[in-house]
Structure 1
Amino acid sequence: MSVTAVLSVNMVTASMLLSVFFVSGALADCPKDSGLFITAPQKMEALSGSCLLIPCTFRAKPEQEFDNSREIFGVWIKNDSRFVKNVILNSIQDSPPSPRIEISGDLKEKESVSITCSAFTPCPHSPPKLTWNLQQDSHNKIQENTDGTFTTKIQKTITLSDQHDGYNITCSVTYPVNEGKHVKTAEQRKTLSVSYLPRDTSVVISPTGPVSVGSLVNLTCSCRGNPPPVHFVWFKMSDSRLMLISADTKVYSFRVSNSDRDRLFFCGCRNDLDFELSTGRQLIFEDDQKSELVGIQVIVKILGIMMLINSPLSPRIEISGDLKEKESVSITCSAFTPCPHSPPKLTWNLQQDSHNKIQENTDGTFTTKIQKTITLSDQQDGYNITCSVTYPVNEGKHVKTAEQRKTLSVSYAPKDTSVSISPSGLVSAGSWVILTCSSRAKPPVSRFTWFKISKDGPMTVSEGPFYSVNVTDVEDYYYCVATNDLDSPPSPRIKISGDLKEKESVSITCSAFTPCPHSPPKLTWNLQQDSHNKIQENTDGTFTTKLQKTITLSDQQDGYNITCSVTYPVNEGKHVKTAEQRKTLSVSYAPKDTSVSISPSGLVSAGSWVNLTCSSRAKPPVSRFTWFKISKDGPMTVSEGPFYSVIVTDVEDYYCVATNDLGNQTSSVIHLGEGEELTVYGPTRKTEEEEEGNIYYGEIDFSKRRPEPSPSSVQDSGQQQDTLYAQIQVSKTANSLTQTAECPEDIYAQVKKK
């Protein structure tokens, strides 16, 4: 027989914290003929003015019958000369304890971490209230601990970015005291330190004004990152050639020469995670009115750029999958590959002679990878994955190496559960022994349950890691069961049959193990409400509960998270146990939202260069961008790649086509001439009345007309598009009259479709 008693303590002293101590088996000093044995926590905390719940379990000796027909009551003793060894309340401290903030996960950008704030809860029927700056109206959850005490928690999962670095998490706890008439508060703070690759890399020119030949100029490379960037490299571009001018210096100083006119300066910034290149900057000369900022991001393939900075970047280890035992995860180690015809070599301790694979990225750079899929067990928890990269340099005469490590944190159900007995020697009938249940688990064991094998089968006798037994002449058998959050019902299984491509129909099934078909589990998911659960008998005589739905895929389903939950009735339906499974759809689709942008978008002059950029989203990524110019003979191919540079000369129409393995899509036509949101100037066709050197400004009148047909090879799989064309009307600046131009002028413009 086991009974739990509760003591509510209300103290009147303000701002006091009481530490409460108990002795396990607190009636050790009671008369020898005492028929009960008591178990209580060794130590508790209490807040003055608040109630205190003290869990206390007492039971009869095995050889005695407990008469529960009589009134049952407990006596709590604070001071009694007969019980000198039992000190119940002492060690007074000030103020309530601060809440505790814990973060589980790797503090790196793009990683998901779980943040928990918890507070000691002396009185669960009048619990504290937790609030924090991560979320308003957070749900407070009260959790019972293995020793019978309680904790209040709030929790949130976030995906980290560089914006979280330095963010202060503030968690406050408010305790009601004096029957809710007053409150006491405490607060805790924790600052996030999130690792992220370099950001906002730029060149700062000093002095900021115009420069003259022979003057001294300082260029400073500015960037941010965590860990802070410590390696810098400088380049200059002239006549379309990129040259290294300095390495490992944040500030580059030089005296200006005539050759520095129209020259672009770049800096690269690196930390342990990655490298970023700035946009180009130009100097302003005293006799020059050009802008010092070149707003075109120059994309360059720099062979061996990482080798120019002391040591190569460390490889990157990524793990995809749920880090739980019996789950399969894919582990990848990748390395930047500046020179694909002389690539680095990756090795690791997961596999000897791993196959190195070189992959071209969407921006035209390359990455070398090795990969392995493993099924996790508790033996992998704490395992250190080590990946090394070796770069050949100086035409293979020497090498440079770098290394990365990552430790696996694998969750698993209780293992090696065992019982030990104390004292371990010979014991006599009538003496007491303590049984201890031990187990290893991750997360730690949340509940220990003790069972005694009786003639009617196993019966629960106690909970907690310790159990005290009075030895009798009769042989008794005991065992314990260790439980954690993973020792729960098995997660349902989500299966997708079909080809995960847009416009394809697939069948999605969620199934759950069904041990008891006459009391089956209940499946629910976010694909459909009120889904019909179907119980199916398997070939081996077992049963499975299923629900199913067929959908036709589109690009909008890519990245969609399917969530399926199962609820099992237990204890004859009095309670339930639940489990959940998630699966993310990865849908392949042809290019979408293909568009063209123009840079610089501000004031440009005739004869200057502009960059056209073709962008599109696709899965797999776009493998080819093709540029077309609409001529009098129809569309003609002019370039390939995501960028195309054009010199402002004639009014012309351009478009791009994005292609991947599944299809292609054509952008709207961009009309280069005077355009919307762009003030453009340049020479116009002159008349006899106009003086040489006058400048005329364009006034845009937009109208729609049917686009000229494009060749079938570049059509967007039947998709129709509207193209905006500009009708250019030219007028003198000194004259408000509008005159229609007789022919297109050599002015560039960007026309945006509304």
Structure 2
Amino acid sequence: MSLTTSSCICVTILLLLSGVLGVKDWKVTYEKPHICALKGSSVTIPCSYQYPRGHRVNETFWTNERETNKEPEDLKKNSEYHNRVTYLGDVFENCTFRIENVGERDSATYWFRFVTDKVGGKWIGEPGVTLSVTALQVEKSQQSATGQATLTCKNTCFPKVHNDYVWFRDGKYVLNQYESVLVPEENGKYSCALRRSENVQSAPVKVSMEYSPKNTSVSVSPSGEILEGSSVTLTCNNKANPPVYRYTWFKNGAEISQSGSQKNYYTITNIRSEDSGKYRCVARNTHGTGTSELYSVDVQYSPKNTLVSISPSGDILEGSSVTLTCNSKANPPVDTYTWFKNGAEISQRGSWQDYDIINITSEDTGRYYCNASNRYGTGTSTLYTVDVQYSPKNTSVSVSPPGDIVEGSSVTLTCNSKANPPVDTYIWFKNGAEISRRESWQDYNITNITSEDSGQYYCNATHSLGTRSSALYTVNVVYAPKNTLVLVTPSGDIKKGATVILTCSSKANPPVNTYTWFKNGAKISQRGQNYTITNIKSADSGKYHCVVRNKVGTDMSNHGIVNVDGNQAIVIGSVGGITAVMVLVVLIIVVCKSRGKCSKATKETGSTQHGEQDAASPVYANVSGMPMRPTDQQDLTLYSTVQPHSKSSKDVLYSTVQQPYSHNEDELQYCSIQFPTTSTGSRSAVQQIQDNSVIYSTVSKK
């Protein structure tokens, strides 16, 4: 007989016993009369009911008691159920019911009961729903030869229904195991559950088997990036039974350490970049070994060993091109390079580690360094000196001490030139002619400088790369006036009433800027170079001299004697130097004795500022001089030429004289020489030339 037919018979019997007519109007329908549930799960019992028209349901509940002589108990009032049962239906037709967290004690038959508002309106649905509560079970089978175990998850509720299962080891989910059969890879307590009902697990079964190390791998602690200077620990992970008793570590294929029992770690303190490499470990127990995969240890660090190199190597010649390269060891690689010259930043090139200098010049000479940076820090290179070599340039001449170059001082001319390597040879030129060639001596010294040292100087600076000449440098020697004398215009006989010009001549650098005239020792107001006497008369007779001055010093001339007597003025110049006086006096005496009469006169004494002058100085006379005492030069030979103004060259006279010493210092002779009258009526002149000193003598004819 079918379940549906049996239910109908029971309901009919109950309705007949209760004496209620219209049994077909009372009905309870159970969708699943038999339910098997797993221990710990929740069970929902689907249900529907109906009752006669005109009734109203006042009470609904479920019960697991079925006794005819007493009213069944509502499960919600049972202490074992009241927190675990829920009525999901209503008072119309739905009577679904749920029990939470079922256990084996909940295995029973459950009925739905409802009561209406009419007399006799009580109904209980037959035959009820039978609930069977069972637990999943794990069965273990183990092969003694290999120690391998097989676990099977048994399900007595649905033995013939395919289900997906999940497995747990020591309460933790075992991935990718959805079958009812499991071959465990390691020891532990295993349990199973239906997929999507993971909270309902079987009782755990302990698995213990022996095997060689497997799943061997290396891990590092702390995890993440490994920074230089930190400490890290490499751990050799594996599964083995019995436990591993020896671990061996390898770096880049070479054994580096073998630790004792159960010490599965390798610690590196203060790790360095040299510790980077590929590591692996080998774990060994009594059943064999397990070898890990290679594990790369990548030690990261800020730039170090930073230095500058140059290409091409060797000497750096001006005009060439060079490349400076910033070399640095870093992990991760350098991302920013910054260049400096003599302490000042000159370039920030990002990831460009080269600094190019095209057409290099001496201005590029200096100390260079670079900064190399990554995210961990910066490394600074040592200084690199770029020494640009070039031929001499900017060659010039300077003088020391600066300022005017005064005659008699000492000066140093310096050849200045910029060159690398330094100049090795200096050559000096004066007025275009080479005067000195010296290796590594750039100075040209002139001691006790004279006016003859004036000129245009330049130098050549030379070394292996070339030669460069300086610009011309003018050496201008300044000196106080010298060789000062008085010149008379016109020369010869001067008629009384004529105009006579006395000229003060002097050699000086810079030129004389002040002339002062004196007559008989008294200053004359006129200050120019020329002193003019107009309408000359006897009162103009006297001794005249001049004093000259420039910014360097002063000098005094000889005495010029103007003697106005009768109708004619005789103008006699006296030599400023003693030697010149001697020469002139001797000359006049000789000429007088050989050609005419001599007359005595009182000696006129001339003086100079400096006393005795150089005999080489030019001396102009009409002069009178002081007699000279014997000296070491008494044997000085004098040459004189007396040439009358004549058309005949035969009138030229030559004489050689020696001046004897005269004891009569007060006696001075003047000589008048009378020549035959010529058609031109000109006068004669006596000239002497020796060592740039010229003596002029004018002798008037009576």
Please give the range of the TM-score, normalised by the shorter of the 2 chains. under 0.3
Indicate the structure with greater helix content: 2
**TM-score, normalising length: structure 2:** 0.27
